Amino acid sequence: QVQLQESGPGLVKPSQTLSLTCTVSGGSISSGSYYWSWIRQPAGKGLEWIGRIYTSGSTNYNPSLKSRVTISVDTSKNQFSLKLSSVTAADTAVYYCARTDVWGKGTTVTVSS
């Protein structure tokens, strides 16, 4: 079955760009009609939807983050990625990639100098 795995730096400096990759295994990211999403969760808090990319490549973003977020897909590597610019301590969270029915285990990103 399809599995997702997040990867990327666990520590990012303030004002820099956070970059994460989600690797899809057990199936092709190009097949079917799916949304591939990024979601985050600050410690002890709820889930926040960041954005998604459709199988066709079209994207939608959380309006509150839209100016700082870019989600892209690399079908040759069966991956999709998140870039979040101008990060602050408020962006510290566990970041999940998901296909809505399947979730990665999450990766912790801390924003600190």
What residues line the site for other proteins (CB under 8 A)?
37, 39, 46-49, 52, 60-64, 96, 98, 100-106
CB nearer to other proteins: give 19 or 65: 65
Q: Least Å distance between CB 35 and other proteins?
A: 9
Report the distance separating Cα 63 and Cα 66, nearest Å: 5
Do the beta carbons of residue 25 and residue 78 sit within 8 Å? yes
- Six-digit token pair at 102? 């399947």
The count of C-alpha atoms lying within 13 angstroms of the C-alpha of 47, restricted to the half-sphere facing its C-beta, is 10
Q: Which is nearer to other proteins, 3 or 72 (CB)?
A: 3
Q: Provide the minimum distance between the beta carbon of 18 and other proteins in the complex, in angstroms, as a whole number.
A: 19
Residue 113 C-beta: closest distance to other proteins, Å = 28
Q: Which of 99, 108, 101, 110 is nearest to 23 (CA)?
A: 99
Q: Which residues pair with 56 in a beta bridge?
A: none
Question: By C-beta, is 16 or 48 nearer to other proteins?
Answer: 48
Please, which residue, 87 or 104, has the CB nearer to other proteins?
A: 104
